[in-house]
């Protein structure tokens, strides 16, 4: 049997209003000093795709409205609620006070490998992704509850941050 691509009308996309009124997923994304507006936009697109409740843009992150964010986000910056804060650690502290388990997605000495981590369905999680060059700030790692590492076997041991967002979110919702 031949397969065919679905038409856009067959995708049953929900509206921005429907996205915002759906049941909470218990997932938040924190972007810690992501310098590329295209990476920020791509993170928004993945956040929308996997039903993230909110994106926190911290430090030097580009913020909407931005043509470069919009180019990669394809409008997801309008569906996914977001907030800007200058200081990432203050956001982490607030999220922890709000009952989130804060996870720094970073290569650390005691990082749990993605794939072995099991999400507790009754908990809320905030996933922190760091700068394209320097990663998640050490003070943010220190303020987090745990670290999660994407296992890699190549020579770089590095993924583009927007790819990492997609990989981790997929693992969290599957």
Q: Could you tell me the domains of the chain?
A: 26-151+158-173 (3.40.1280.10)
Cβ atoms of 141 and 89 within 8 Å: the answer is: no
Residue 147 corresponds to which tokens in the numbers above? 């670290």
Dihedral sign (CA 16, 89, 64, 42): negative
Helices H / strands E in the chain, number of each = 7, 7
> What is the model's pTM?
0.96
Instruction: Give pLDDT tens digits along the chain (174 positions).
Output: 899 999 999 999 999 999 999 999 999 999 999 999 999 999 999 999 999 999 999 999 999 999 999 999 999 999 999 999 999 999 999 999 999 999 999 999 999 999 999 999 899 999 999 999 999 999 999 999 999 999 999 999 999 999 999 999 999 999
Nearest-angstrom CA–CA distance, 109 and 125: 21
Nearest-5° Cα angle at 124, 120 to 126:
115
Residue 164 corresponds to which tokens in the numbers above? 């990492």
């Amino acid at each position: 049997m031949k397969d065919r691509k679905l038409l856009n009308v067959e995708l049953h996309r929900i509206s921005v209003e429907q996205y915002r009124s759906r049941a909470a997923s218990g997932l938040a994304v924190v972007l810690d000093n992501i310098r590329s507006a295209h990476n920020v936009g791509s993170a928004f697109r993945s956040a929308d795709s996997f039903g993230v409740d909110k994106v926190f843009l911290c430090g030097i992150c580009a913020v909407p409205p931005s043509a470069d964010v919009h180019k990669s986000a394809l409008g997801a910056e309008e569906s996914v609620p977001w907030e800007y804060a200058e200081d990432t650690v203050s956001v982490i502290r607030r999220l922890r006070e709000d009952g989130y388990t804060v996870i720094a997605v970073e290569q650390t000495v005691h990082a749990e490998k993605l794939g072995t981590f099991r999400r507790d369905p009754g908990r809320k999680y905030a996933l922190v992704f760091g700068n394209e060059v320097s990663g998640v700030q050490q003070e943010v790692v220190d303020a987090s509850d745990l670290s999660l590492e994407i296992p890699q076997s190549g020579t770089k041991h590095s993924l583009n941050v927007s790819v990492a967002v997609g990989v981790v979110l997929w693992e969290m919702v599957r």
